[in-house]
């Protein structure tokens, strides 16, 4: 029998509801429970696939090809449970489905309304497919009081009445600011946020209070009194040095105990958080450090590369070193020599991206890494730019480019119009819709025996997640391999390139997929572990 935990936020956005949900899921897992985490997003986009990373952050992709909110990355990294397209829904998806039903006549002439039709659709999403889990954690995006979130709050209010007593718990995450001029922590923002939540019929069972310093007992009693929450259920959510410290920190504050108390569950086994203690200790006590340059085009918003950042942390954990990140805007290298910027780094990573802006700067970074023998890791667009660089500078194809940038006489990278997904042929057109039309989700790949990347994986058969619309043109394969760029991995039918590498370089690998989406703190992705290891070796040569 599944029990439901609804996590809402108040006062301001970006308080870390996703991280709190993931950490609570990890704590419940550590007690032996099976958990599932879901995200309900109130915005009207059907999914984040068409949203700018500079606005929304990373678009996370699941094995089954869903483009989802970045919080699903936290869920997977903290619990190890693969998410799927049924774990993230938006207002846009809900309304799109309802309007399609109305056009078909499914409502038999009835008036279609927010209540009950929209709220019923939200409830159906929340309740679907939970037969095998003990707890379902549902995070509601946005902040209480946002007009677009009202149908979601109404839906979870209704579920509190419709499900059997004792099967629903509400957690509200708020902010307690410190006012330096007064020297005081202020409870009033949390009081107002809870008042807003109660005005729509939801009484929180647990308060999680984000704060940058310990909360005195008097302030906890005050929050308990004015928010109608048990004093023990006022949980300080203090800042920590690493996000991987959060599960232990929240457990020490009593979060998972209070959740079980709210459900009336007694006699639950104590959590085994030893692996989290080990991770925290490794991060806090590294044996060395390396510096990795990330040459990207969305570097002003680090959340655009959230999974990438965490994967490099995981690579550091695997090698017991701290990974320092040097964020570099690719456009800078279109006007300036990259040497002053890249001369002291131990590794260069060019991540995914879309569009022509910054492409020439990324190519310049590839050239620097190739010529100076600095470990290079190209992911998706970063692999494509490595191929274009080799075509131009080594194979003499001076006009080599990508059709993504416009018409070109040498489309070394071109629009992918059809490919196999399982036994089905997928087709796309250049003039088609942007949303949901890329090669998305997990696809198998075959790695050449004896290649560097096969050695790293320890296997010749792999499966990785993709998110791209353009592909390296295999017509140039022989020409590029003649100048040292080896196509070491392809789709099982040999039609689509998956990886490239250089044998004349200590560590130079490009991959068309996104390995960062499958890295976990307890299971660092082998490519990131190997890349950081190469950076450690490079640091010893400097």
Active site residues: 380, 514, 516
Instruction: For the sheet with 461-468, list strands across it.
Output: 322-329, 289-296, 347-350, 376-379, 508-511, 497-502, 485-490, 439-447, 461-468
CB 295 within 8 A of CB 332: no
Instruction: For the sheet with 88-90, list strands across it.
Output: 88-90, 35-41, 135-140, 3-9, 168-175, 206-211, 234-238
CA atoms within 13 A on the CB side of 419: 23
61: DSSP letter:
E
CB 491 within 8 A of CB 443: yes
Q: Which residue has the tokens 């492409």?
A: 359
CB 178 within 8 A of CB 213: yes
Rounded CA-CA distance 207/34 in Å is 23
The whole-angstrom distance between residue 436's C-alpha and the CA centroid of its chain comes to 17
- Which of 229, 179, 180 has the alpha carbon at shortest distance from 209? 229
Tell me the residue ranges of DSSP E strands in 67-219.
67-68, 88-90, 135-140, 168-175, 178-179, 184-185, 206-211
Rounded CA-CA distance 87/39 in Å is 6
CB 210 within 8 A of CB 255: no
CB 38 within 8 A of CB 7: no
Q: Please return the burial class of 234, using the count of CB atoms within 10 Å of its CB with bins 0-12, 13-18 and 19+.
A: buried
Instruction: For the sheet with 400-402, list strands across it.
Output: 400-402, 410-415, 470-472
Rounded CA-CA distance 374/233 in Å is 52
CB 173 within 8 A of CB 10: yes
Q: Please return the burial class of 274, using the count of CB atoms within 10 Å of its CB with bins 0-12, 13-18 and 19+.
A: exposed
Q: Please return the burial class of 477, using the count of CB atoms within 10 Å of its CB with bins 0-12, 13-18 and 19+.
A: middle
Distances (CA, A) of 149 to 96, 115, 120, 154, 155: 17, 14, 15, 9, 10
Rounded CA-CA distance 287/302 in Å is 26
- Which of 347, 298, 285, 280 has the alpha carbon at shortest distance from 531? 347
Q: Cα torsion at 20, 23, 25, 26 (round to 10°)?
A: 180
Contact residues for 144 (Cβ-Cβ < 8 A; gap 6+): 8, 9, 10, 153, 172, 193, 196, 197, 200
Q: Cα torsion at 302, 306, 312, 317 (round to 10°)?
A: 120
Rounded CA-CA distance 49/109 in Å is 34
């Amino acid at each position: 029998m599944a029990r439901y935990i609804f996590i809402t936020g108040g006062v301001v956005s970006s308080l870390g509801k996703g991280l709190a949900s993931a950490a609570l899921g990890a704590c419940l897992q550590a007690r032996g429970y099976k958990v599932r985490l879901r995200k309900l997003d109130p915005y009207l986009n059907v999914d984040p696939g068409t949203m700018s990373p500079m606005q929304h952050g990373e678009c996370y992709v699941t094995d089954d090809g869903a483009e989802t909110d970045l919080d699903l990355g936290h869920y997977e990294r903290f619990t190890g449970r693969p998410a799927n397209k049924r774990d993230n829904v938006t207002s846009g998806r809900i309304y799109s489905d309802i309007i399609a039903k109305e056009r078909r006549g499914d409502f038999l002439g009835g008036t279609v309304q927010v209540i009950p039709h929209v709220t019923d659709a939200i409830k159906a999403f929340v309740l679907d497919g939970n037969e095998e889990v003990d707890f379902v954690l549902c995070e509601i995006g946005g902040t209480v009081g946002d007009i677009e979130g009202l149908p979601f709050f109404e839906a979870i209010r209704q579920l509190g009445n419709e499900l059997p007593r004792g099967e629903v718990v509400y957690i509200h995450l708020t902010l307690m600011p410190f006012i330096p001029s007064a020297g005081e922590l202020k409870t009033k923002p949390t009081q107002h946020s809870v008042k807003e939540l109660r005005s729509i019929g939801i009484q929180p069972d647990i308060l999680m209070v984000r704060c940058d310093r310990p909360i005195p007992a008097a302030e906890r009693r005050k929050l308990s009194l004015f928010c109608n929450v048990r004093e023990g259920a006022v949980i300080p959510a203090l800042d920590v040095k690493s996000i991987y410290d959060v599960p232990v920190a929240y457990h020490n504050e009593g979060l998972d105990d209070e959740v079980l108390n709210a459900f009336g569950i007694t006699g639950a086994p104590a959590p085994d958080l030893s692996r989290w203690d080990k991770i925290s200790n490794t991060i806090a006590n590294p044996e060395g450090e390396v510096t990795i340059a990330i040459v990207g085009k969305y570097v002003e918003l680090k959340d655009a590369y959230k999974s990438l950042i965490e994967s490099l942390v995981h690579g550091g954990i695997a090698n017991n070193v701290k990974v320092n990140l040097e964020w570099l805007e690719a456009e800078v290298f279109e006007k300036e020599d990259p040497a002053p910027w890249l001369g002291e780094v131990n590794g260069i990573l060019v991540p995914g991206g879309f569009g022509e802006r910054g492409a020439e700067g990324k190519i310049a970074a590839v050239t620097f890494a190739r010529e100076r023998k600095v470990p290079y890791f190209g992911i998706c667009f970063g692999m494509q730019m490595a191929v274009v660089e080799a075509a131009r500078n080594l194979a003499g194809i001076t006009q080599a480019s990508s059709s993504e940038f416009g018409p070109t006489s040498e489309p070394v990278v071109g629009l992918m119009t059809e490919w196999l997904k399982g036994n089905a042929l997928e087709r796309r057109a250049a003039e088609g819709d942007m949303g949901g039309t890329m090669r998305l989700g997990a696809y198998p790949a075959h790695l050449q025996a004896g290649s560097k990347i096969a050695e790293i994986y320890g296997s010749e058969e792999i499966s990785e997640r993709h998110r791209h619309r353009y592909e390296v043109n295999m017509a140039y394969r022989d020409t590029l391999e003649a100048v040292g760029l080896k196509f070491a991995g392809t789709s099982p039918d040999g039609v689509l390139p998956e990886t490239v590498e250089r044998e004349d370089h200590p560590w130079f690998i490009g991959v068309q997929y996104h390995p960062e989406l499958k890295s976990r703190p307890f299971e660092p992705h082998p490519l990131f572990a190997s890349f950081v290891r190469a950076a450690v070796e490079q640091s010893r040569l400097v």
